[in-house]
């Protein structure tokens, strides 16, 4: 997965500037930036859709139909928040101890 991701990022890093220059030649800077922003939003929502589909499949695989999907996502966000809080406390505790 990581190798495929790196290959795609490399291709995008090569192609995107050339597409940006092409868009700039077609119109002005404002229209090319607006079109670029639309493409970025589409990409962001695509990543969100893939994440939600993966989480739904994982939820169905582990719990079946008995757990609400939104409740599961809320629990996942709570876990991330809790782990970030623990990390934050550990880092600040080390800084205070110095």
Q: What angle do CA 65, 79, 75 make, to 5 degrees?
A: 30
pTM for the model stands at 0.53
Q: Are residues 58 and 85 in the same domain?
A: no
- pLDDT band for position 41 (cuts 50, 70, 90): very high
Q: Are residues 2 and 44 in the same domain?
A: yes
Instruction: Give alpha helix (H) positions in the chain.
Output: 2-26, 29-63, 69-97
Q: Are residues 5 and 51 in the same domain?
A: yes
Q: From the CB of residue 57, how many other CB atoms can be counted at a distance below 10 Å?
A: 10
* Domain extent at residue 33: 1-64
Q: Are residues 46 and 92 in the same domain?
A: no
Q: Are residues 39 and 3 in the same domain?
A: yes
- pLDDT band for position 22 (cuts 50, 70, 90): very high
Burial of 43 (0-12, 13-18, 19+ CB in 10 A): exposed
- pLDDT band for position 61 (cuts 50, 70, 90): confident
User: What would the mean pLDDT of 62-82 be, rounded to a whole number?
Assistant: 64
| Torsion sign (Cα): 3, 9, 14, 19 | positive
Q: From the CB of residue 33, how many other CB atoms can be counted at a distance below 10 Å?
A: 14
Q: Are residues 41 and 89 in the same domain?
A: no
Q: Is the pLDDT of residue 58 over 80?
A: no
- pLDDT band for position 25 (cuts 50, 70, 90): very high
Q: Are residues 8 and 47 in the same domain?
A: yes
Q: Are residues 52 and 96 in the same domain?
A: no
User: What would the mean pLDDT of 81-92 be, rounded to a whole number?
Assistant: 70
Helix axes 29-63, 69-97, angle to 10 degrees: 100
């Amino acid at each position: 997965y990581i190798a495929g991701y790196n290959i795609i990022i490399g291709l995008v890093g090569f192609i995107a500037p050339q597409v940006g220059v092409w868009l700039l030649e077609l119109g002005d800077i404002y229209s090319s930036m607006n079109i670029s922003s639309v493409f970025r939003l589409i990409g962001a929502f695509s990543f969100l859709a893939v994440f939600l589909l993966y989480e739904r499949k994982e939820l169905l695989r582990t719990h079946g139909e008995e757990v609400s999907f939104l409740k599961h996502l809320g629990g996942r966000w709570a876990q991330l928040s809790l782990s970030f809080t623990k990390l934050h406390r550990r880092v600040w505790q080390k800084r205070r101890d110095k």
